[in-house]
Amino acid sequence: MATFALWDIAKRYGPVQALDGVSLTLRLGQVHGILGENGAGKSTLMNILFGAVHPDRGRLERDGQPLKFASPRDAIAAGVGLVHQHFHLVDSFTVRENVWLGERAPDASRLRAVAARLGLLDTLDVTVGALPVGLRQRVEILKALYRQARLLLLDEPTAVLTPPEAATLFDLIRELRAAGTGVVFITHKLREALDLCDTITVLRQGRVVAEYTPPNVTVDALAAAMIGGDLADLPEEAPTLPTASLADQIRLRVERLTVAGAEADAGVYDVSFEVRRGEIFGIAGVDGNGQTALAEALVGLRPMTGQLWLDGRPAPDGRRARMVAGVRYIPADRRRAGLALDLSVAENAILGDEAASNWRRWGGFLSQRSVRQYVATLTRDFDIRAPQSTRPVRTLSGGNQQKLLVARELGQRPGLLVAVNPTWGVDIAAVATIHRALRSACRQGMSVVLISNELDEILTRCHRFAVLQGGRLSRPLTPDVPLADVGRLMAGDEAIWERHGTVG
């Protein structure tokens, strides 16, 4: 069986040993899962195999012959393709233009053949920015297969997908495996790895700590290998209702909210709901049904019609005024909208709050000491693994970037937090950290509007929730509602919508 192999790979970034003697054998015609906590070295390993990062030590081979990659172009020529967690596409270009970008001699017949195989033939002349997330990911796969990749590296491929999109991706991966393509599947979702992979390797702190062959391993065993302990170390208590003194207080009231759509996201129409003090109120739904419009309207980033009240008073207009009123925001895309990647960890920790008196000295100058102390508290409380607060945020793993974003928004003790996919792309330990932080803040009176594509997160973390579909919002539901009903609401089944109705 044809193979790619990595032997004794090591890579250090300053004081951080990202990889320490990692060896792997990747077989064509198989799906090889790579699991590990944020910062375990998964993405670094894949970037080395793709020629984007050069190891400090170790070697690469294909079928026993040495490989040396000076750049990704060399890796592509050797049959390696990488689909990044954050897509590398030009939104204003068509699918065809994205695939051919940088090509010296485009091959139209090969493009059509591969596009037909992936179900993208009708989208070749569509602008990528107009496509839903699932199709944009498929365009990335199209780019790799067009370049004749035999080993396809997928970095957290389901982090941005809805369940139906993920199921479609899994069908495609199985087809690629059957055709002899090797797939490396990096994920935090343990059940996905068990369902899809032929072999699973677990990384921890830059080292291989375990290798398994499903079905001879359990979810609990995988989790224990990832975190170096037992799942009992990550308690996930069920949400408890706010106390009577809190539950009677309405923190947010939304009446007949209407917001225009933009790009690939729908608007919302005539939406009404209430969120009590201390409550986590969920918004479930398939991505692209108005989630972005709703979130941005609530935090003051998008024009709207209708009425919003905060603590019984009309909400002020504009993002800055809403922040002053205690409304904080965790956007869906931390890299585009949540963090300034080229600024330092410390600068990002106070981003938007630079004028706060907490870190201003006499005369208005920034107190570096106060900022350092604040950042140290956030990194300790949220287990943010950032060796130096002066390093750019882009040097942190995706999960540590997300924890920094959550820590910053909760650090200002808001009255209302609008959180969109707050645990997107993070490992089970980070998920537990973020959920604990949200519950703790709610016990102190904060309210949360939790907009999530993860239905399990909605059902297990929220006191009440509603379904958003095609810009309309169902009546509030409780987590004991039949799961089939929720799925049919998300799919737009009119009989179920008549039963649960809409608020208006």
Written as six digits, the tokens of 498 are 């008549």
State residue 234's pLDDT score: 45
Domain parsing of the chain, residue ranges: 3-233, 244-326+414-500, 334-396
Nearest to 52 by CA among 26, 94, 21, 88: 88
Is the domain defined by 3-233 classed in CATH 3.40.50.300? yes
Paired tokens of 348: 């990002």
* 3-233 against 244-326+414-500: fold identical: yes
With a cut of 50, list the residues of the chain below it in pLDDT: 231-236, 503-504
pTM (two decimals): 0.66
Tokens of 194: 């068990």
CATH no. for 244-326+414-500: 3.40.50.300
Is-contact 67 21, C-beta < 8 A?
A: no
**CA-based end-to-end distance of the chain:** 62
Identify the pLDDT of residue 406: 93
* DSSP strand pairing (57-62 vs 65-67): antiparallel
> What would the two tokens of residue 303 be?
């024009």
Q: What is the pLDDT of residues 375-392, one digit of tens each?
A: 888 888 888 887 788 889
Give pLDDT, residue 361. 66
> Can you give the pLDDT at residue 455?
81
Give the tokens for residue 345.
Answer: 């960890």
Q: Is 353 exposed, middle or buried (CB count within 10 Å of its CB: 0-12, 13-18, 19+)?
A: middle
How many angstroms separate the Cα of 164 from the Cα of each of 1, 161, 293? 33, 8, 22
Report the C-alpha dihedral over residues 82, 83, 85, 87, rounded to 10 degrees. 120
Q: What's the pLDDT at 409?
A: 94
**C-alpha–C-alpha distance, residues 360 and 372, integer Å:** 13
List strands edge to edge, sheet with 57-62. 16-27, 3-13, 57-62, 65-67
How many angstroms from the chain centroid is the CA of residue 223? 19
pLDDT value of residue 354:
77
Nearest alpha-carbon partner for 38 in 135, 140, 156, 153: 156
